[in-house]
Amino acid sequence: MKMPLMIAGSILTAAVLVAGGCGPRRGPEEGQTVERVPVRVVEITAGPATSTVAATGTIKARGDVPISAEAGGRVLEVVAQVGDGVSEGDVLVRLDSELAELSLRQADAQVLLAEAELDDAEAGLARAQSLWESGDIADVEREAAERRAKSARASFSAASAGSGSAERQLRNTEIKSPITGTVAFVFAEEGHLIAVGTPVAHVINDDIVEIELGLNENQVSDVRPRRTVTVRVRALPGELFSGKVEYVGRRADDMTKTYPVRVVLQNSAHRLRAGMVAEVMIAVKEFSDVVVIERDWVVDRYGEPAVYVASDSLAVLKRLVLGKVIGNRVVVASGLEEGDLMVTFGHDRLTEGAALDIKSAPGDSTEQTTSGSDDR
């Protein structure tokens, strides 16, 4: 009977074979008893496999904006509450605007005064220019008129800037959301006096979430932008989420010696929340028609990796050449062939030529294995 062996999302077929009878058996010579070692075996079939890199990170909302007051004053109204959905430009908090309105009126008055002075100075310059051209005034009088006009222009420009600043201060008494999203925190309270820079709210947009990872030099070598990632979240057991690698750092962090990698996920259902701990598996390399086995099935014989296979109920040692490690499994470059009955349990008690008592898995005739971990 064949069974699925999951290798990071790929399948390696394996079947447990059950031999007839258990316990001591008659050997080839009458009266001689052969002690058989209980084992389990799988029949190996080559198939596709995926090498992965795994790391842990914390989920962050792509839009995550702390909002602070750009004007000081007393809080007149807290418009938005935690959990409210807001659009870009919606008012979150209103401050008392009376002083800001008075400042704007004063600034506008300064603009009118400066504008009148500028009109008068430019008219005087025009007259002086005409008289100078007719020879009725000296050069010094025309130059004085030019200086007055320049000074008036500067005063008007300064007054206009002051009016713009006062208008901005008035607008800042309405603290607005810079993004569309959800109000995560509100810190302001009605009646409180706040200063410039005081945090008043926090708005997030988690339609897209991201996870920042730190990978060592061995892990990052095969990671590329747009690689597929699978994410498990401890707070949501049994659920899997898919995303992509967005960014792979070109330089290691001086402190951690790891390379920054950012992955992004669509979160339209809003199942993922900022602050959740996530386990990320990045698919880095695809294999086809390969034999992949558990690393625990490999034994060391004379300093070389090997496995035992069953042949006519006897243990046969096969030396291996191993390839890419895939979590707790490894690709077999050579040494095994499809159809080999490899010993998966009891191999630590075997020697070459040992008699085998092949048993089924507990409770079933099919031995189940599951997909494993990351490449470390």
The residue type found at 354 is A
Evaluate the CA torsion angle 178, 184, 189, 193 in order and state its sign.
negative
Predicted confidence band at 33 (pLDDT cuts at 50, 70, 90)? low
**Beta bridge pairs of residue 283:** 52
3-state secondary structure of 146: helix
Give the pair of three-digit tokens for residue 183.
Answer: 């109000």
- For every residue of 303-339, DSSP letters joined together read TEEEEEEEETTEEEEEE-EEEEEETTEEEEEES--TT
Q: What is the mean pLDDT of residues 321-343?
A: 85
Amino acid 374: pLDDT:
42
Q: Once rounded to an integer, what is the mean pLDDT over residues 349-371?
A: 63
- 8's tokens: 């990071």
pLDDT at 51 over 90: no
Q: Do domains 3-51+287-358 and 54-64+204-285 have the same CATH topology?
A: no
Residue where the block lists tokens 């009118």: 112
Domains of the chain, by residue range, sit at: 3-51+287-358, 54-64+204-285, 70-95+175-197, 97-172
Percentage of residues in the chain with pLDDT exceeding 70?
86
* Residue range 70-95+175-197, CATH number: 2.40.50.100
Provide the token pair at 207.
Answer: 């339609």
Q: Is the pLDDT of residue 239 over 80?
A: yes
pLDDT at 22 exceeding the cut of 50: no
Percent above pLDDT 90 for the chain: 60
Q: Choose between 35 and 210: higher pLDDT.
A: 210
Residue 30: band (very low, low, confident or very high) from pLDDT cuts 50, 70, 90: low
The β-bridge partners of 269 are none
The per-residue pLDDT for range 108-131, each reduced to its tens digit, is 999 999 999 999 999 999 999 999
Rounded to an integer, what distance in angstroms lies between the CA atom of residue 64 and that of residue 85? 14
Residue 248 is predicted with a pLDDT of 95
57-72 tens-digit pLDDT: 999 999 999 999 999 9
On the question of pLDDT at 364 being above 50, the answer is: no
| pLDDT given for residue 232 in this prediction | 94
Question: Of 132-146, 158-172, 320-334, where does the model show the most confidence?
Answer: 158-172
pLDDT at 160: 96
Q: What is the pLDDT of residues 195-223, one digit of tens each?
A: 999 999 999 999 999 999 999 998 898 89
More confident residue, 27 or 359: 359
d(CA 375, CA 330): 10
Amino acid identity of 235? A
CATH code assigned to 54-64+204-285: 2.40.30.170
Per-residue model confidence (pLDDT) at position 32: 59
Please check the confidence at residue 294 and state whether its pLDDT lies above 70. yes
| pLDDT score at 373 | 38
Say whether 290 sits in a helix, a strand or coil: strand
Q: Which residues contact 13 (CB under 8 A, 6 or more apart)?
A: 2, 3, 4, 5, 43, 44, 45, 47
Confidence label for 10 from pLDDT (cuts 50, 70 and 90): very low
Name the pTM for this structure: 0.64
DSSP class of 273 = -
pLDDT of residue 260: 96
Task: Determine the pLDDT at residue 221.
Answer: 87
Q: Is 145 helix (H, G, I), strand (E, B) or coil?
A: helix
The pLDDT tens digits for 141-175 are: 999 999 999 999 999 999 999 999 999 999 999 99
CA 296 → CA 38, 158, 175, 292, 344, distances in Å? 17, 79, 61, 12, 8
Mean pLDDT of 270-283: 93
List CB contacts of 84: < 8 A, sequence separation 6 or more. Answer: 182, 183
Asked which of 99-108, 253-262, 311-320 is least confident by mean pLDDT, the reply is 311-320
Average pLDDT value for the chain: 85
Q: What class has domain 3-51+287-358?
A: mainly beta
What 3-state class would DSSP assign to 361? coil
> Residue with structure tokens 């070598």?
221
pLDDT at 18 over 80: no
**Six token digits for residue 250:** 């070109």
Residue with more model confidence, 329 or 85: 85
